[in-house]
């Protein structure tokens, strides 16, 4: 039997410029619309997109590196593979990138109706994980690789999926690297106020920055209190295409501006990056410099926000197109992907609370569990059942889990939603000092902090260990040839 290694990579849009760059074949797999109800759709299937590339594959005993996409089109992930792309030559790996249902081109239903009842009900974590498990099983048979171990990698929501794949399908997944995976978000008792508090802490590393950001929002509030004239002035300061006309639109402006700081904190990498946005190195420092060096804080804030929402000279900001409010206060993105993530945030993925202006530098923009429930009932006609997610995805009860590395960056505002320590000897936690959102899953860069290089070595060491342990249990004790 041919020896190989299957690696699942579950990432949000991340990585640096190293990637597939279109050097792959696009293929589609007939996937069941509903894996769990034999009556609802019977044998009906949809085309799940995946990408494949065999440049480095050592056929016979080389690994299959299988990336399970999360909330976005798979080609964006494939072009930002980072860490996994770089280790493919070392492992002699075949690269396969699979797309998450309801994103990109992988729609079980026509996009015009996909986000209506009852069709959107097929957008669940369980269904997506089953898609990946079925596709893996198919590829293992097709490639004569039925004895292959499976290692799952993931960052952010993808990191959650990578851990859950090990929980749910230990017969398929041998081990998981779960980077910046906030699985504790699905725990009922979690204090969700941590996120914007920790965004603020990131900016507090720059002298006077938090004070000046807070002052800028105070100045915005004073202008808004003047009514129409103040709103008109705010519209000019932020170069808006349409003047603000009421308090609801002003509130959207605040959320739009706050979202920029969220992205800066998540992408506070020591080099230029273009995954979530095209940003300079250390965007937190750059944004703070614009604000603290401005003669008036509010004008500095407007310049800082422009770092994220770039527009051509002579153009203006359409804040309703650039930012969509949803059940995720940290942002859902735009386009069809924002609809899919909004629905997931209304069902299984309970995201952080809003800002409170006490533990953070932002205006008071609350998003409590009650506000979320009311929003989701009105927007999607669904009521969140967080106790189910807490049960289905284990909560903090990880005593029986094994073969997972949970990594988190100390600069990442999602960090406190993740697994930071464990008494389970079969799990490992790693802290990336100087690391923002899943920095360890990005490609190597000369500007990388030493800690992330060490963490990547630990992760590769664990992969080797899991693979060897797996092959020791196989009939004939066949090991890959490295």
Contact 52, 25 (CB under 8 A): yes
Q: How far apart are CA 442 and CA 154, in angstroms?
A: 11
User: What's the rounded Cα separation, in Å, for the pair 176 and 224?
Assistant: 49
* From 337, 360, 412, 440, the catalytic residue: 412
Q: With helix as H, strand as E and coil as C, how does the chain read?
A: CCCCCEEEEECCCCCCCCCCCCCCEEEEEEEECCCCCCCCCCCCEEEEEEEEECCCCCCCCCCEEEEECCCCCHHHHHCCCCHHHHHHHHHCCEEEEECCCCCCCCCCCCHHHHCCCCHHHHCCHHHHHHHHHHHHHHHHHHCCCCCCCEEEEEECHHHHHHHHHHHHCCCCCCEEEEECCCHHHHCCCCCCCHHHHHHHHHHCCCCCHHHHHHHHHHHHHHHHCCCHHHHHHHHHHCCECCCCCCHHHHHHHHHHHHHHHHHHHHCCCCCCECCCCCECCCHHHHHHHHHHCCCCHHHHHHHHHHCCCCCCCCCCECHHHHCCCCCCCCCCCCCHHHHHHHHHHHHCCCCCCCECCCCCCCCCECCCHHHHHHHHHHHHCCCCCHHHHHHHCCCCCCCCCCCEEEEEECCCCCHHHCCCCCCCCCEEEEEECCCCCCHHHCCCCCCCCHHHHHHHHHHHHHHHHHHHHHHHCCCCCCCCCC
Task: Give yes or no: 355 in active site.
Answer: no
Q: Which of 3, 106, 156, 162 is catalytic?
A: 156
Is 256 within 8 Å of 240 (Cβ atoms)?
no
Is there a contact between 129 and 393 (Cβ–Cβ < 8 Å)? no
**437 in active site:** yes
Is 252 tagged catalytic? no
Cα distances (Å, whole numbers) of residue 355 to 156, 352, 365, 368, 399: 21, 9, 5, 10, 34
Q: How far apart are the first and last CA of the chain?
A: 16
Strands 175-179 and 45-53: unpaired
Active-site residue among 32, 437, 438, 470? 437
Tell me how far apart the alpha carbons of residues 43 and 17 are, in angstroms, rounded to a whole number: 40
Q: What phi and psi, each to the nearest 5 degrees, are found at residue 176? A: -140, 140
Active site residues: 156, 412, 437
């Amino acid at each position: 039997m041919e020896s190989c290694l299957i690696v699942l990579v579950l990432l949000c849009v991340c990585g640096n410029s190293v990637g597939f760059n279109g050097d792959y074949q696009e293929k589609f797999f007939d996937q069941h619309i509903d894996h769990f109800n034999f009556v609802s759709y019977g044998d009906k299937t949809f085309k799940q997109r995946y990408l494949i590339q065999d440049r480095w594959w050592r056929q016979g005993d080389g690994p299959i590196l299988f990336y399970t996409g999360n909330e976005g089109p798979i080609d964006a992930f494939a072009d930002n593979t980072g860490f996994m792309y770089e280790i493919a030559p070392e492992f002699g790996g075949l690269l396969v990138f699979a797309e998450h249902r309801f994103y990109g081109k992988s729609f079980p239903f026509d996009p015009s109706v996909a986000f209506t009842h009852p069709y959107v009900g097929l957008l669940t974590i369980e269904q997506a994980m089953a898609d990946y498990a079925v596709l893996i099983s198919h590829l293992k048979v097709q490639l004569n690789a039925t004895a292959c171990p499976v290692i799952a990698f993931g960052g952010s929501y993808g990191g959650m999926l990578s851990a859950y794949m090990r929980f749910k399908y230990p017969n398929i997944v041998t081990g998981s690297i779960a980077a910046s995976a906030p699985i504790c978000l699905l725990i009922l008792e979690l204090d969700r106020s941590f996120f914007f508090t920790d965004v603020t802490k990131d900016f507090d590393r720059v002298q006077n920055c938090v004070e000046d950001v807070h002052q800028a929002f105070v100045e915005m509030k004073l202008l808004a209190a003047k009514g129409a004239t103040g709103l008109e002035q705010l519209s000019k300061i932020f170069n808006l295409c349409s003047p603000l006309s009421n308090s609801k639109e002003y509130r959207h402006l605040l959320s739009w501006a706050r979202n920029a700081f969220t992205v800066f904190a998540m992408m506070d990498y020591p080099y230029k990056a273009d995954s979530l946005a095209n940003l300079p190195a250390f965007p937190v420092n750059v944004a703070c410099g614009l604000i603290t060096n401005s003669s008036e804080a509010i004008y500095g804030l407007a310049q800082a926000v422009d770092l994220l929402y770039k527009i051509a000279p002579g153009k203006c900001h359409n804040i309703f197109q650039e930012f969509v409010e949803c059940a995720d206060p940290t942002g859902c993105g735009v386009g069809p992907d924002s609809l899919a993530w909004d629905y997931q945030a209304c069902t299984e993925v309970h995201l952080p609370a809003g800002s409170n202006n006490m533990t953070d530098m932002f205006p008071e923009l609350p998003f409590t569990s009650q506000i979320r429930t009311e929003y989701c009932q009105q927007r999607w006609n669904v009521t969140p059942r967080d106790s189910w997610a807490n049960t289905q995805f284990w909560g903090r009860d990880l005593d029986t889990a094994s073969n997972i590395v949970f990594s988190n960056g100390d600069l990442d505002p999602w960090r406190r939603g993740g697994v930071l320590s464990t008494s389970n000897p079969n799990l490992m936690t790693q802290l990336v000092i100087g690391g923002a959102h899943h920095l360890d899953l990005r490609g190597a860069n000369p500007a990388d902090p030493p800690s992330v290089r060490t963490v990547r070595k630990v992760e590769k060491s664990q992969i080797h260990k899991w693979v060897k342990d797996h092959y020791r249990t196989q009939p004939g004790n066949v090991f890959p040839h490295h």
